[in-house]
Chain A
């Protein structure tokens, strides 16, 4: 029994570890902070992978070696433990885990502790059950005034844009997100109803959109292309298809898009969405 169990534990451990080399992995990263994050992930997964393996191998070893062989009078070793060992492994694990924990803050800090650099590209994101609305300031770079009371989905005024406000004349609102490549982007995240979550796997980036709050986040995408954008917070019945796309465009292409008035903006957007394929990995 002991031997069988040991072998099974080892096999399960081996298979589990192998699964992590089976080719399934993160989709290729497209943001500036991603490489650092992926490195931290790799370091962590190696550390925990090793301790996982070590623990399982150790466990297997114990049950293999110390199974009861059933000779009479043969007794286990009488020991209540060893303070030296206790101290030793407490200190070691403490050092390892806390170091991991501290290292694990750097990317977070770089993204969340500082405001977006000046001149970063601004988009206001307004989520609702079960669609995304992206509000662009237009040429003047100023967002038109928005009011909950002005929201009217039936009239397609999803964000409650105030037509009376001068700044809103050149604004556009679309269902897909277009951002420039290699330039910091600042998103202002809001929600009309319940909590949603902005999540683009390739960005390695996530943030809740909380009703009643405007949350500002920033990142820099560095690979042109079209990427799937998902909602990663349970928001009700159709949570699973609250989907949109994020277009990372060359600066010039984005400028052209910017220049267009609302209607053409929409068409151009559909064009671009058709033009760019989804990433293959």
Chain B
């Protein structure tokens, strides 16, 4: 270790299981807790998607187990339309919030941001712990939402909480899509099944989640601004840190808006205010104000909810992808044994994406009845956001160019990320054009678009990150051979699932349909629907390999024998494995180099770690005659 300063670390390592592993304030433990949360959540989400596909491909078939699990949602094991819709809603919500907004940022970010900038912990460890536990509560609440309706068991208990909590006519959860458009989501149970207790819990869960992520974001930003170690200037930070930082800024500015909207929505539901509910509604035979079950509402604006939601919603999708982009850049450079191509351009691109991300939310609302003029503005801005994304793509290719690529599982998934991000991203250029959104809005083309880019590209980013950092986190490798099989199956699988969905969209298959049997013009698509389902079943099955690999490797995986198994350059690789409680055993590292110094001519090894000193100091690299 080159030099020491500020040796003392503030909080001594806790002893005792609870403080060490449960209510820990160690960012590393919290990171792992987030990852476990994501692993559980994604399992739930996947099973739901499996049921959805089963229902779409074999409508009306009865699956006995379901009958016993969800007597109201799937009587006799036959999935009802409302059961399907609540699956869609929960699938989307869980995947977006509890998978893609937890592990990439709260998980890997939490674990590695402080280490990569050479800090001994997060700026506010206690807030950090809180942010996890709040998020966990949010997750538990959303799971409850599945079981509260149908006026039996839990549902009965909730009905006790008051009229707006009384169950609908029997479903398994909220029905509103993950976007919860008002007034459907605001009217309460007169609007049909899935609008009772479940929907309340959905809103509450989202609100709780917002608070959790805000605490996290606060911590990330402060830590990065305040706690970089000596020599870790901004332009020497790994791209992962830039990504996590930008993500945190996006979260910090967008989640409060959703929180505000959520509060308004909740008030509309339980305090019968009229923020989103217009006057003169006539719902299921009742006119607003003429019946105790349907109190008077006036003058609310349904589109207002969409604006609030999407002002959050679009930045949210970049919150979901940026950490993946960071990890990909990091891993591509490491295993191509080559500096990142156009480091600065990458940093600017991340920023441009983050900034533009706040001005394009209207592209989700072209058909909402919003002003057609603003639609045009949103549309053009939306296409310009493709530019920084393309720049990143080019730079990834540039990083590979001339490299000496080592195909570890992590690298495979990083390469998969690039492939899938392009595949999903470019369809954004179709949806972004207001004209083309006329036929394409709310069809499966949208579903295809966001699954490729979010549903799997971001997820691939997480896979890559886990295979890459697992050795540092647990001192053991994940099985490479299992990893490879997992990659091949998943990579091919997701192409097979989501590419055909584009065709469905072009033919005009609408989203959120629990069955396509009603429409003649969709008949021709039956073979594709089946193909997608089969591919989905295989792909989801393949994930069991992954889960097995994780669990098995934690205990039985091949031990890492040195602290830098990948021959990487950043700080996490020159501390112990796994890192000590204060990350650097009381001796903070000093940084002399940029983050990706591979294949440096004349250097004895093909990588120069950020902490390596040099005898001969080339001019103008800011050393200021630093003494060692």
Asked whether the complex places CB atoms of A and B closer than 8 A, the reply is yes
A192 interface hit (Cβ, 8 Å): yes
Are A235 and B369 neighbours in the complex by a CB distance under 8 Å? no
Given the known A-B contacts A2-B407, A40-B436, are A237 and B192 also in contact in the complex, defined by CB atoms under 8 Å? Answer: yes
Q: Which residues of A contact B (CB under 8 A)?
A: 1-2, 5, 8-9, 12, 15-16, 19-20, 22, 24-27, 37, 40-41, 44-45, 47-48, 51-52, 55-56, 58-59, 62-63, 66-69, 74-82, 85-86, 89-90, 93-94, 97-98, 100-109, 111-113, 128-129, 148-149, 151, 153-154, 160, 192-195, 197, 199, 201, 204-208, 210-213, 215, 228, 230-241, 243, 278-279
In the complex the two chains form, is B423's CB within 8 Å of A210's CB? no
Residue B50 lies at the interface, judged by CB distance under 8 Å to chain A? no
Q: Which of A105, A129, A278 contacts B284 (CB 8 A)?
A: A129
B209 at the interface (CB under 8 A from A): no
- Determine if B510 and A55 form an interchain contact, defined as CB atoms under 8 angstroms apart: no
Q: How far is the CB of A155 from chain B (nearest CB, A)?
A: 11
Decide: A66 and B519 in contact? CB cutoff 8 A: no
Instruction: Tell me, rounded to whole Å, the shortest Cβ–Cβ distance linking B608 to chain A.
Output: 11
Which A residues touch B284, using CB under 8 A?
Answer: 129, 193
On whether the beta carbons of A234 and B398 are closer than 8 Å, the reply is no
With contact pairs A22-B503, A78-B601, A100-B429 given, residues A240 and B373 touching in the complex (Cβ less than 8 Å):
no
B429 engages A193 (CB within 8 Å): no
In the complex, A237 Cα to B375 Cα: how many Å? 30
Chain B CB count within 10 A is highest, among A15, A47, A76, for A76
Contact A112 B375 (CB under 8 A): yes
CA distance A206 to B434 in the complex (A): 11
Task: Tell me whether A25 and B506 are in contact in the complex, defined as CB-CB below 8 angstroms, given that A66-B403, A206-B367, A212-B302 are known contacts.
Answer: yes
CB of B541 within 8 A of chain A? no
Please state if A232 and B510 are interface contacts (CB–CB under 8 Å). Answer: yes
Please determine whether B382 and A66 come into contact, CB atoms closer than 8 angstroms.
no
Chain B contacts with A in 391-443, Cβ cutoff 8 A: 391, 393-395, 397-398, 400-407, 412, 415, 418-419, 422-423, 426-427, 429-430, 432-439, 441-443
Q: Does B500 contact A19, Cβ atoms closer than 8 Å?
A: yes
Known A24-B507, A41-B436, A80-B341: A2·B405 in contact at CB below 8 Å: yes
- Check A93–B387 contact: CB distance below 8 A: yes
| Chain B residue at smallest Cβ distance from A214 | B369
Contacting pair B429 A48 (CB below 8 A): yes
Q: How far is the CA of A75 from the CA of B439 in the complex (A)?
A: 51
Q: A75-B337, A79-B341 are in contact. Are A237 and B426 (CB under 8 A)?
A: no
* A193 interface neighbour in B191, B430, B439, Cβ under 8 Å: B191
Contacts of A210 in B (CB 8 A): 302-303, 368-369
Q: Please tell me if the beta carbons of A101 and B518 are within 8 angstroms of each other in the complex.
A: no
C-alpha gap A5/B405 in the complex (Å): 12
Q: What is the chain A residue whose CB lies nearest that of B504?
A: A24
- A residues in contact with B6, CB < 8 Å: none
Contacts of A154 in B (CB 8 A): 285
Contact A213-B369, Cβ < 8 Å, known A56-B419, A93-B390, A195-B302: yes
User: In the docked arrangement, what's the CA distance between A41 and B285, Å?
Assistant: 42
What mask results when residues 191 to 213 of chain B are scored 1 for a CB within 8 Å of chain A, else 0?
Answer: 11111000000000000000000
Is the beta-carbon distance between A104 and B436 smaller than 8 angstroms?
yes
CB–CB A44/B400 < 8 A: no
Chain A residue at minimal CB-CB distance from B298:
A212
Q: Mark B141-181, 1 if CB is under 8 A from A, else 0.
A: 00000000000000000000000000000000001110001
Given contacts A24-B506, A79-B402, contact A151 B187 (CB under 8 A): no
Q: Report how far A81 CA is from B553 CA in the complex, Å.
A: 38
Additional A-B contacts beyond A19-B500, A105-B376 (5; CB < 8 A) = A45-B430, A112-B375, A206-B367, A236-B194, A237-B194
Contact call B339/A26, Cβ cutoff below 8 A: no
B451-507 with Cβ < 8 A to chain A: 488, 491-492, 495, 499-500, 502-503, 506-507
Which residues on B sit within 8 Å (CB–CB) of A82? Answer: 342
* A210, closest chain B residue (CB): B369
B398–A81 contact, CB under 8 A?
Answer: yes
Interface stretch, picked from B22-30, B107-115, B275-283, B620-628, is B275-283
| B423 touching A52, Cβ below 8 Å | yes
Decide: B387 and A108 in contact? CB cutoff 8 A: no
Q: Is the CB of A37 within 8 A of B435?
A: yes
Chain B nearest CB from A203 CB (Å) reads 9
In contact, B507 and A55 (Cβ under 8 angstroms): no
Judge whether A206 and B513 touch: CB under 8 Å.
Answer: no
17 example contacts (A-B, Cβ-Cβ < 8 A) are as follows: A26-B439, A55-B393, A56-B419, A66-B404, A79-B339, A80-B339, A85-B342, A93-B387, A97-B387, A105-B434, A113-B372, A148-B281, A194-B181, A204-B439, A212-B280, A232-B443, A236-B192
B-side contacts of A5, CB under 8 Å:
407, 412, 415
Chain A contacts of B406 at CB under 8 A? Answer: 68
| Assembled-state Cα–Cα distance A42/B404 (Å) | 39
Instruction: Say yes or no: A232 contacts B442, CB within 8 Å.
Output: yes
- Mark the stretch among B215-223, B263-271, B520-528, B575-583 that contacts chain A: B520-528
Partner of B345, one of A69, A81, A213: A81
User: Does B495 lie within 8 Å of A80, measured CB to CB?
Assistant: no
Is B391's CB under 8 angstroms from A44's CB?
Answer: no
Inter-chain contacts of A112 with B (CB < 8 A): 372, 375
The 8 closest A-B pairs by CB, nearest first: A212-B278, A104-B433, A101-B383, A77-B402, A81-B342, A148-B280, A201-B508, A112-B372
